[in-house]
Structure 1
Amino acid sequence: MKKITDFFWFCSGAHITTLKNHPTEHNKYVGIGATIFFTALFACLSGGYAMYFVFSGSTAAGFFAIFFGLIWGLAIFNMDRYIVASIKKTGSTNHQVLQALPRILLAIMIGIVISRPLELKIFDKEIRQKLKTSYLNGQRSKIDTLNKAFTNKYNLELAKSLDLKTEKDSLEKDINRSRYILNQEVFGDKTNQTSGVTGYGTYAKQKEAVVTQKQQRLEQVRSELSQIEKIINTRKEIEGLNSTKLFNEKQLDSLSNIAGFADRNYALGQLSFNPDGTRDVDTYLAISFISFLFILLECLPVFVKLMSDRGPYDVALQHTEEVAVYKSEKEKEHLFSVTDNVHDTRNQEESEKGKILVKRKVKKDLEES
């Protein structure tokens, strides 16, 4: 327990030597340190999970997730520790609030960043379903766009193909009807289109010639239709229209499994809306409450430090800092004093040397004269 207590004291950013002399403050700083530690732990998990999807599909995805998760967790831990340790209890309440306001804003930003990847994991099933729907709609839209572009580009060929199909269907119906009438003529059935004479006579031969003529035209239409359809299919193959098809369930599962962080983040945002575009209040509140929870967790150490009364540890820490500042100022004064004495000694020595040089020069001048 002593090792755990010392560790949480370290996490809180407290001056451990001073804190040990004030037992009434021990539990408070254990709580602050534990909050900072678990916030960093959540940040580690969040960063690792986000990085796992960034490198999804790579054999090194697990390594990068662990490495980046540790780096991100340590960065958040160091930042939280500094934020809490930098709040002093020496000023008034308003002064402390103003001092902590930038740190609270920073804590809110960190809480938002931490919460997002964990929200992606919590709503993983819903996100996968939303991704499947999104991918399917995207593929359907892509196919519609390709079809529209192909229709505009090959409008003449498509129109000719449609006319040939219409003529082919009409000829097939007409030939069937003409053959039926020919059979009636041969078997002697009396109608308004047959003579009623049994046998293969003049009227039957005339009707057979009409059927033959229509059959020849049908073969010609079929040949032309086959050629134009071959051209159209070749163009579809070149334009990629034949190879672009709707995804099946297996393909959708595969795409949702390898979806990147940006796609999953977009899908999470879309969960808050119904298909008709209206806001889904229940889902929106659920996602928002998770974000608020992590923001509160991130801001909690700062709030605890602000709400706590000024204790004996804070007084002792202030005294320790004042003593350290006083000693530092005295050392500076002593250093400046020693430096001044050295400068004075050097100036005096240089003055004496100058006088000796002047005397020597005067004596030399007198001897020469």
Structure 2
Amino acid sequence: MNNGISRFFWFCSGAHIESLEKYPTEHNKYIGIGATIFFTGLFAALSGGYAMYFVFKGADFAWFFAMLFGIIWGLAIFNMDRYIVSSINKNASSRKQIWQATPRILLAIMIGIVISRPLELKIFDKEIKERLHVSYLNGQRSKIDTLNKAFEKKYTIEIGKLNETKAQRDSLAAAIKSDRQKLNFEIFGNKTTETSGIMGYGPYAKRKEAELKQREQNLDTLNSDIRQMEKFVDGRKQFDGLMTEKLYTTKQLDSLSNIAGFADRNWALGQLGFNVDGTRDLNTALAVTFIGLLFIFFECLPVFVKLMSSRGPYDQAIENIEFSQVHLSNKERDFEVEVADGIHETRVGTEIEKRKTQIRNQAYRELNGEA
């Protein structure tokens, strides 16, 4: 692998590059750890940018804000993962390493959940839109029902009078139709229990004709009253907004789902584990869960790799460097205390710096195994 790429992945792993270069057998291990951390940060950037795009969707420069936030979020997750992995001390005992890694694994799980959610929204985009269609349609239907119930409660007397008048009209219309048929039987000589069976337009037929005309006039009056009452009710419906509320068309549902915000889409994703009738959809629920677990495992993978890897020469070298630096710091501190107590007052100034240099040189010789 190109030396520049290798050093980049070593940097991503949080390794001390100058020390790692001395141990070729450790190179691939830290390239793998660094690459995992890098791609985790990359996924975090894509996830954060996608989520922020929905926050600013429809606004000017939405893509710019999404890209800016995605980069910042990706760098933040990258830096956090880099710290989590590099802070695990391979020179400690296995139990202590697990104890050190436990809070880091919990943090990695939380990061994995945060990263996976926006990407799951994109993966199940079509299913989410279909579930939003159902939700919006049910919401509009519920809204219309609520308005109708409120209107009926508000105009109970008027609607009751209208329904009563319609019932009278229907009853009268049915009676007129029945009597008209009897009159025709009388005129054309059809024998029934209520007709004579003699053909002709006699006195009985004339009387029934006059009665029917009067009742038809009454029917016309009822129809006129009904039209007036319906006009009033329709006017009230128009005033209260019932006439403008209609069920969404497919085109309108598509438009609404396209501009749906992050909260609506996140809710719809959670509902994919259930069918429309409320029963459990196990297959979809498992698919969503496994994809989320995949990203969580990917986020925890660098920590697991660091825990599972054996203690190598690089880890021994880092332990020696840390011990040397601690030893050097203690010697310098003791010498400065002596100076502060007045034991070596004549060596203040250049003598102090000369002594520090000697201590550093001695520590580095000890580290490199020199006499």
> Could you tell me the TM-score, scaled by structure 1's length?
0.86
CA distance in 1, matches of 2:107, 2:193: 97
Read off the aligned partner of 2:313 and give its amino acid letter: P
Read off the aligned partner of 1:304 and give its amino acid letter: V
Q: Deviations over 1:180-203 (max 9, x none)?
A: 55556667777665674745x654
Equivalent residue, structure 1, for 2:153:
152
1:244 aligns to what SS in structure 2? coil
2:112 aligns to what SS in structure 1? helix
Q: Does 1:161 align with 2:134?
A: no
Percent identity (aligned): 62
Read off the aligned partner of 2:102 and give its amino acid letter: L
CA distance in 2, matches of 1:23, 1:185: 118
Equivalent residue, structure 2, for 1:263:
264
Correspondence list, 1:190-339, <5 A: 196=198, 198-199=200-201, 202-339=203-340
CA distance in 1, matches of 2:81, 2:263: 27
How far did residue 22 of structure 1 move? 1.5
CA distance in 1, matches of 2:45, 2:210: 89
1:341 aligns to what SS in structure 2? coil
Equivalent residue, structure 1, for 2:28:
27
Larger mean CA deviation between 152-161 and 241-250 belongs to 152-161
CA distance in 2, matches of 1:28, 1:67: 32
CA distance in 2, matches of 1:309, 1:204: 115
2:9 aligns to what SS in structure 1? helix
Question: Structure 1 residues 202, 21: closer, same or farther in 2, change over 3 A?
Answer: same
Q: Pairwise CA RMSD of aligned residues? A: 2.4
Larger mean CA deviation between 329-338 and 277-286 belongs to 329-338
Larger mean CA deviation between 122-131 and 144-153 belongs to 144-153
CA distance in 2, matches of 1:286, 1:158: 52
Equivalent residue, structure 2, for 1:363:
none
How far did residue 251 of structure 1 move? 0.8
Q: Rg larger in 1 or in 2?
A: 1
Q: Deviations over 1:203-261 (max 9, x none)?
A: 45433331232122122212221121122112222222221111111111111111111
Count of matched residue pairs: 344
2:342 aligns to what SS in structure 1? helix
How far did residue 152 of structure 1 move? 2.4
Equivalent residue, structure 2, for 1:366:
none
Equivalent residue, structure 2, for 1:111:
112
2:58 aligns to what SS in structure 1? coil
Question: Structure 2 unaligned runs (5+)?
Answer: 347-371
Read off the aligned partner of 2:7 and give its amino acid letter: D
Question: Structure 1 residues 314, 191: closer, same or farther in 2, change over 3 A?
Answer: closer
Read off the aligned partner of 1:332 and give its amino acid letter: R
Q: Does 1:135 align with 2:136?
A: yes
Read off the aligned partner of 1:261 and give its amino acid letter: F
> Could you tell me the TM-score, scaled by structure 2's length?
0.86
Read off the aligned partner of 1:84 and give its amino acid letter: V
Correspondence list, 1:89-104, <5 A: 89-104=90-105
Question: Structure 1 unaligned runs (5+)?
Answer: 346-369
How far did residue 153 of structure 1 move? 2.4
